[in-house]
Structure 1
Amino acid sequence: MNEGAHHAPDAPHGSLREYLIGFFLSVVLTAIPFWLVMARPLAPGPTAVLIVAFAVVQIIVHMVYFLHMNARSEGGWTMIALIFTLIVVAIALAGSMWVMHHLDTNMMPMPHEVSRQP
């Protein structure tokens, strides 16, 4: 079977070195949050923030080392699609949080109203 039949000639191909770097980074970026949860060296708030930060970095590592996403791949269209997706997700998350906040603020009884009820 022809090698060119599976991939476009200008498609990025990862080398073994790149895959090993990506794998090593993925393992480290998984092991550190695991240790943070198991050893509990920090309070829950900072631990949660660090876990989210490590998750974001791991997403970037996977996109770069395993999906080979960069500004040059496919004429930049994959990066444009990624940016559009991130914007849509951010709008959906922000809107959901806004709606939930306003539901909580406007629909839950106030503490002094609860104590007056028989």
Structure 2
Amino acid sequence: MSENHTTSHEGESHGSYGSYIVGFVLAVILTVASFATVLSKAFAFWQTIAILAVLATVQVVVHLVFFLHMGTKSLSQRQNLAAFIITVLMVAVVIAGYLFVLWDAQMNMMPG
């Protein structure tokens, strides 16, 4: 049991028990931090939203690295990471465009 990680048929690492434990602990800490931020009511509304956005982004990265094994070690992992980043950017452009169109339409509406 000296070898804790497994490899797939392509020879890519799928993590060790230690990396899963670290990922789990980080995910729990980030979740508790999110709940504590909201329940403490120590921040203004927009500050709370900004803190939650940062914590959520960090948690997504933790899940991608520790559980989905998206890294840059092998060519396949780099390709997966690049495809994921491009997908996220495309979704962000679509959402930003959608919000801009709605905002612009609301600003140009005639008063009722």
TM-score band, normalised by shorter chain: 0.7 to 0.9
SS in 1 for 2:68: coil
Report 1 or 2 for greater relative contact order, CA contacts < 8 Å, sequence distance ≥ 6. Answer: 1
> What SS does structure 2 have at the residue aligned with 1:62?
helix
CA apart distance, 1:75: 5.4
Preserved contact between residue 27 and residue 62 of structure 2 (Cα < 8 Å): yes
Q: Which residue of 2 aligns with 1:31?
A: 32
User: Which structure is larger by alpha-carbon Rg, 1 or 2?
Assistant: 1
What letter matches 1:76 in structure 2? R
Q: Helix, strand or coil for the counterpart of 1:107?
A: coil
Give percent identity, aligned residues only: 35
- CA separation of 1:108 and 1:35: change in aligned 2, threshold 3 A: farther
Aligned residues: 105
Unaligned runs of 5+ in 2: 1-6
Gapped regions of structure 1 (runs ≥ 5): 1-5
RMSD of aligned residue pairs (Cα, Å): 1.6
1:63 aligns with 2:64: yes
Q: Does 1:107 align with 2:88?
A: no
1:93 maps to a residue whose letter is I
Q: Verify: 1:78 aligned to 2:80, yes or no.
A: yes
The residue type paired with residue 13 of structure 2 is P
Greater helix share, structure number: 1
Which of structure 1's runs of 4+ aligned residues deviate more than 6 A?
none
